[in-house]
Structure 1
Amino acid sequence: MSREYHRSTLLIIASIAIGVVGWSGHVALLPVAIGFPVLWSLARTRLVAALVSAGYFLAASRGLPQGVTAYYSSDIWPGLLLWLCASLSFVMVHTVLWTQNASVRPFRYLLAAAVMAIPPFGIIGWAHPVTAAGVVFPGWRWWGLGLMTAGLAGLATRVWPAAAIALTGFWLWSAASWTEPRLPDGWRGVDLDLGATLGRDVGLQRHRDLIATVRTVAGNGAHFVVLPESALGFLTPTVTRLWTGAFADADTTIIAGVAVIDHGGYDNILVAIDRTGGRILYRERMPVPGSMWQPWRSWFGESGSASADFFANPVVLAGGSRVAPLICYEQLLIWPVLQSMLHDPDFILAVGNGWWTEGTSIVAIQRAATTAWARLFDKPLVFAINT
């Protein structure tokens, strides 16, 4: 009994360590997360499998309580509650699908991985080990995804050391020749450090400051300048006229995050503005559940929820290019990027507004995950975020 207790304790501690290191925000360390299926498969009881799953997920998403506290300007308890609730889906799926039958276990793990990758469970399918495919198999595209999936299944078998050695070999090989995703020609992303005021300070001076920033970037040769999520606040005819007039004499297109209000709530979108006017470029498929996406409001006749377009507009056209946009939360999930990659876009466009994540690794994790997907499919990447 004592030996089994210590063994289970070590598995739980190791799962926590894997969650912390793998999801530290360093793209090169993402493959550490593939140790999770090994620990899950080594559990000898369903309870230990549940505790291993909880340890991994809670450690990987450890920045959530502090982030929620900052977002709502509240104490730590709402953040802790949301943190625990978010872990329930991951833990429940991996607990229910765990089995003592070693021959069936890899197929059960693949099923759990698939369930956590697509809605409804995929809506909070963070910290998915398959994200590491871009670090282990950069440029291999769908073949790399397939090999990583097979590797994860192999790690849930009795011959997991052989699978681990093979994946580690590919990881070290890719690390030796690693390169960051390139920028598409003529495109530039602008990172801002405006905190919670971005999108909330919608005064004329703020717009003038942003216009000056865009002009500086455009003056360095960029024809398409990308601003972060919520950069322009609410989309109104006045805002569109201001920005259109500011670039009436320039061949510059501004891609920026805005919100559009309707009778039921609002859409979190990207808008494209140039000297001819503005148009909605992209509607966010998956806003942040709880803080933005609140579908239960409509059940009680209330409004105020962000719209979730789920599988809409996976690829949009901008400047003759096919673009795969990802807004903030979408960068942590699996299905939005894979849906976009099915349409073979020319590059990935990732924006965010992470002011509320100060003191956490959430923004770094978003950047690392998006970088990994861009490298897997060998796509250029434009990134613009506010902190």
Structure 2
Amino acid sequence: MAARDRSSLSSHDIAHGVVLIALAALVSAVAWSGDPLTLPLAMLFPALWALARSRIVAALVSAAYFLAASRGLPQGVANFYGSDLGPGLLLWFAASLSFVAVHTALWTKRPGWGRAMRFGLAAALMAVPPFGIVGWAHPLTAAGVLFPGWSWAGLAAGAVGLIAMTTRWWPAAAIALGGFWLLSAASWTAPAPPEGLRGVDLDMGQSLGRDGSLERQRELIATVMRTAQAGDQIVVLPESALGFWTPSVERLWRDALGGTEVTAIAGATVIDPRGYDNVLIEISAQEAGILYRERMPAPVSMWQPWRGLTGQGGGARAHFFANPGVEFAGWRIAPLICYEQLVVWPILHSMLHGPDAIVATGNGWWTAGTSIVAIQNASTIAWTRLFGLPLVTAFNR
């Protein structure tokens, strides 16, 4: 009889675990669909993690959540390298290891505030380097949808909500968070760009940044001038738009903007013998120079720290906690280039410096057939709404 009871209990636990894993994948896939208003579903992840009855189920719940949120990565990697899905699948699973390891190590079977604080620690670790380097799909991002305009108080409320979801009071916490979600959805408005500053989306595919011809530069200049004619004197172009930043490119742009009050902000690459920086360049008739150096380039494809350890050069540099806010033309902006829109600490780092607006750029040609760019936009919109700031975006597809 005792053996049958243990067998029955084991079967029940297995079924319970399978349900939790399936729910984690479903919740994550919907939450990270690219629509900002679905992000609050990610707040259910802590409850699913806490309801696990064993460490291995907690690990699988964490893996299901992360892998579902980052499901576009295999196809994106295949697009970027022109390969099959094999390397992308390997990178997809490798990227999940930090998230899974942190949440598995800190899980405990004992209920109560001890477990709640452990989840809080896991959330904090996944928000900052080194674990936060791949801290995608952080559920705290939903605070911007639940508490728009609340700023740091909204961030704290979101953190409290996440922690409460790991306690026995999680149903009450879910109802409360759902109420804030409904209130927010009823009055939801997307953030608008500030007056006089406009981003331009391009559809130039993988040629953007790789075509360094005079014809391409003139095409971009014409785009900036057309946009400026509509009354926006500061025009933002996507990541990598200028290609390699050289004295010749600078001279061409400054001459073209001569006699105007137009300022262009555009992505470019600055190289030296040790590697390169992914940057935003500010250009006007009077001057031109580096406005911002990317704090967190995309790991593997751009940021390759192992090259330095082996004495090799190359790869993009990561300026982890540099230039969180930059000033130009009377504006103080928080710049976010591509990958930085998927992780937490760059935006919060910038918010500590009181920016007037957020400027988000990207070069997403390699994301064709995926929801990666939509997820980037949803994440940026959520953070922008949390702090009540205008938003300027410029993407290439």
TM range (shorter): over 0.9
1:366 aligns with 2:362: no
1:8–1:48: 8 Å Cα contact kept in structure 2?
A: yes
1:87 aligns with 2:96: yes
Tell me how far 1:301 sits from its aligned partner: 1.9
- Helix, strand or coil: the match of 2:251? helix
Cα deviation digits, residues 91-150 of structure 1 (max 9, x gap): 000000000111111100000000000000000000000000000000000000000000
How far apart, in 2, do the equivalents of 1:286 and 1:330 lie?
A: 6
- The aligned counterpart of 2:44 is 35
Ranges in structure 2 where 5+ consecutive residues have no aligned partner: 1-9
How far apart, in 2, do the equivalents of 1:37 and 1:88 lie?
A: 18
Match 1:75 to one of 63, 79, 84: 84
1:225 aligns with 2:213: no
1:49 aligns with 2:70: no
- The aligned counterpart of 1:212 is 222
How far apart, in 2, do the equivalents of 1:284 and 1:317 lie?
A: 15
Tell me how far 1:304 sits from its aligned partner: 1.3
Cα deviation digits, residues 4-53 of structure 1 (max 9, x gap): 21111100000000110010100110111111001000001000000000
How far apart, in 2, do the equivalents of 1:315 and 1:211 lie?
A: 26
How far apart, in 1, do the equivalents of 2:37 and 2:142 lie?
A: 9
How far apart, in 1, do the equivalents of 2:311 and 2:152 lie?
A: 44
2:237–2:395: 8 Å Cα contact kept in structure 1?
A: yes
2:66–2:137: 8 Å Cα contact kept in structure 1?
A: yes
Tell me how far 1:2 sits from its aligned partner: 1.9
- Helix, strand or coil: the match of 2:57? helix
Match 1:6 to one of 10, 15, 29: 15
Tell me how far 1:279 sits from its aligned partner: 1.1
CA-atom RMSD in angstroms: 0.6
Q: Which amino acid aligns with 1:83?
A: W
- The aligned counterpart of 1:332 is 342
Match 1:99 to one of 100, 108, 112: 108
Cα deviation digits, residues 156-208 of structure 1 (max 9, x gap): 00110000000000000010011111211100000001000000011011111
2:243–2:268: 8 Å Cα contact kept in structure 1?
A: yes
1:241–1:277: 8 Å Cα contact kept in structure 2?
A: no
- The aligned counterpart of 1:378 is 388
Q: Which amino acid aligns with 1:217?
A: T
1:203 aligns with 2:203: no
Ranges in structure 1 where 5+ consecutive residues have no aligned partner: none
1:311 aligns with 2:321: yes
Tell me how far 1:277 sits from its aligned partner: 2.3
2:13–2:53: 8 Å Cα contact kept in structure 1?
A: no
How far apart, in 2, do the equivalents of 1:124 and 1:300 lie?
A: 23
- Helix, strand or coil: the match of 2:346? helix
- The aligned counterpart of 2:7 is none
1:109 aligns with 2:99: no
1:188–1:225: 8 Å Cα contact kept in structure 2?
A: yes
Highest CA radius of gyration, 1 or 2?
2
Match 1:341 to one of 348, 351, 374: 351
- Helix, strand or coil: the match of 1:298? helix
How far apart, in 2, do the equivalents of 1:44 and 1:301 lie?
A: 47
Tell me how far 1:249 sits from its aligned partner: 1.8
- Counting matched residue pairs gives 387
- Helix, strand or coil: the match of 2:122? helix
- The aligned counterpart of 2:333 is 323
How far apart, in 2, do the equivalents of 1:247 and 1:340 lie?
A: 30
Cα deviation digits, residues 299-347 of structure 1 (max 9, x gap): 2221111010000000000111111000000000100000000111101
Match 2:187 to one of 167, 177, 182: 177
How far apart, in 1, do the equivalents of 2:96 and 2:331 lie?
A: 38
- Helix, strand or coil: the match of 1:184? coil
- The aligned counterpart of 1:261 is 271
How far apart, in 2, do the equivalents of 1:375 and 1:299 lie?
A: 40
Runs of 4+ in 1 over 4 A off after TM superposition: none
Tell me how far 1:212 sits from its aligned partner: 1.0
Tell me how far 1:261 sits from its aligned partner: 0.3
2:144–2:385: 8 Å Cα contact kept in structure 1?
A: yes
Cα deviation digits, residues 252-283 of structure 1 (max 9, x gap): 00000000001110000000000012111000
How far apart, in 1, do the equivalents of 2:346 and 2:292 lie?
A: 13
How far apart, in 2, do the equivalents of 1:266 and 1:47 lie?
A: 41
- The aligned counterpart of 1:295 is 305
